[in-house]
């Protein structure tokens, strides 16, 4: 039955979509990229079907790769787009702008940790890397981000 085949994907969507979208927004700084990347990742997951063991991890990994591709094609923008569907204070946008200045991998691990709420081993599974590599990236990203934000305060 078709509905039974789609059940794991519908459940993954219900469980993760809102948090994934917010993480993608923080990562990209663009609501349109966040929406497109999340939608495309879920659509690709459905097309792959039973070939995916961990739907949540696969969707997060795919969504971040899609968003990174959009950013690489020149999709980055600073400041909130006028049609942004979420309320955010000016300091939140300063943080998103600072995030745009760290490496893509550092931005991924920061967002997955602090917006997604994942542990280093969970992030490693989503990014197909080791937990040690995630911890090093987090350390470097936090240091860089702290320096960027302190420079803004001066």
Tens digit of each residue's pLDDT, the chain (154 residues): 356 778 888 888 898 899 899 899 888 888 899 999 999 999 999 999 888 888 888 999 999 999 989 988 875 554 444 444 555 555 666 777 788 888 888 988 998 998 888 999 999 988 889 999 999 999 999 999 888 888 766 5
Asked if 73 and 23 count as a contact pair (C-beta separation under 8 A), the reply is: no
The count of C-alpha atoms lying within 13 angstroms of the C-alpha of 60, restricted to the half-sphere facing its C-beta, is: 27
pLDDT at 89: 57
Q: Are 12 and 45 a contacting pair, CB within 8 Å?
A: yes
Give the C-alpha separation, 150 to 55, whole Å.
Answer: 39
- Contact yes or no for 88/34 (Cβ under 8 A): no
Q: What's the CA gap between 123 and 37, in Å, rounded? A: 18
């Amino acid at each position: 039955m078709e509905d039974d085949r789609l059940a794991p994907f519908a459940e993954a969507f219900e469980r993760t979509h809102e948090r994934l979208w917010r993480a993608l927004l923080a990562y990209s700084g663009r609501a349109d990229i966040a929406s497109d990347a999340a939608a495309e990742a879920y659509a690709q997951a459905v097309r792959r079907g039973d070939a995916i063991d961990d739907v949540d991890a696969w969707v997060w990994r795919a969504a971040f790769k899609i968003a990174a591709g959009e950013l690489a094609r020149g999709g980055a923008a600073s400041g909130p787009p006028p049609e942004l569907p979420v309320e955010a204070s000016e300091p939140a946008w300063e943080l998103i702008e600072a995030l745009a200045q760290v490496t893509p991998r550092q931005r991924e691990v920061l967002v997955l940790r602090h917006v997604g709420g994942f542990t280093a081993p969970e992030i490693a599974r989503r990014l197909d890397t080791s937990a040690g590599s995630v911890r090093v990236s987090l350390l470097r990203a936090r240091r860089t981000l702290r320096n960027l934000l302190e420079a803004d305060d001066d």
